[in-house]
Amino acid sequence: MAAKAEGAATATAGYLFSALPHWLSHLFDILTAIFLCIYFMLEGDDAYAFFLSLFKPASRARLDATLKRAELKMSKWLLGQGLLMLSLGISSTIVFGILHVRYFVLLGVLMGLLNIIPIAGGVLTIVLAASVAALDSWAKMSGVLIFYLIYVNIENAFLTPRIMKSSVDLMGLTVLVALLIGTALAGIVGALVAVPTAALVAVLLDEYAVRRSNDPEDSESEAPLLSSESEPAD
């Protein structure tokens, strides 16, 4: 058992050392996104006013109202993401406490906070929690891994589509596709901004591309066609 534990520890250390540059690149991306958010918070109003000034006054008011609707949806997304983080933090704290894992409160808080980073945050925290549980017994480590496996399936199949659909008003399929595309294009940062971007695109399409049956423009375009059909043939 000691030899197997030593071999597992050596393999884990080797993997962490070889994967360190990859994780550092993701950390740099996250820090870059944080600094961009700070600059947008400080100078966002000026940048937004300059952006609107590029459009004609006739269309400026409509675009402003559309973007404000998109901003409301993005705020709701942040609320939905906070609910997901809270659910994971509370459930993991309770389960770790039942299993008598060391530092279960701290581990539960980390599980909830790092859940904002798709995939990587969960993997990092579950590896940490499983390692702490393994210090006591293999049974505790197995319990931690089983809990996380069950929770991930519940979150992906039930919580994420429903919470994000109710908060962002997007279909569950749209949320999942947005997450997959964002992760494929820009990794962790892409996954972080995938759902807000999908909300923005949905609002813009709804305002400028979607044609409804009571649209005045469509009614005007159909009127000549209907009148020509109603004329008797010679």
C-alpha 44, offset from chain centre: 22
Q: How many Å apart are CA 150 and CA 166, to the nearest integer?
A: 23
State the pLDDT at residue 130: 87
Q: Residue 167: which of 157, 159, 156 has the closest Cα?
A: 159
State the pLDDT at residue 11: 63
Longest distance between any two alpha carbons in the chain, whole Å: 100
Query: Which pairs with CB-CB distance under 8 Å and at least 24 residues apart come from 86-90?
Result: 86/112, 87/155, 87/159, 88/112, 88/115, 88/151, 88/155, 89/113, 89/115
State the pLDDT at residue 78: 79
Mean pLDDT of residues grouped by 10 in the chain (234 residues)? 62 60 67 78 82 85 86 80 86 90 86 74 82 86 89 80 68 74 76 79 82 59 51 52
Per-domain residue ranges of the chain:
69-210
Q: Report yes or no on whether pTM surpasses 0.75.
A: no
HEC sequence for 196-215:
HHHHHHHHHHHHHCCCCCCC
State the pLDDT at residue 61: 86
State the pLDDT at residue 79: 82
Amino acid at 191: A
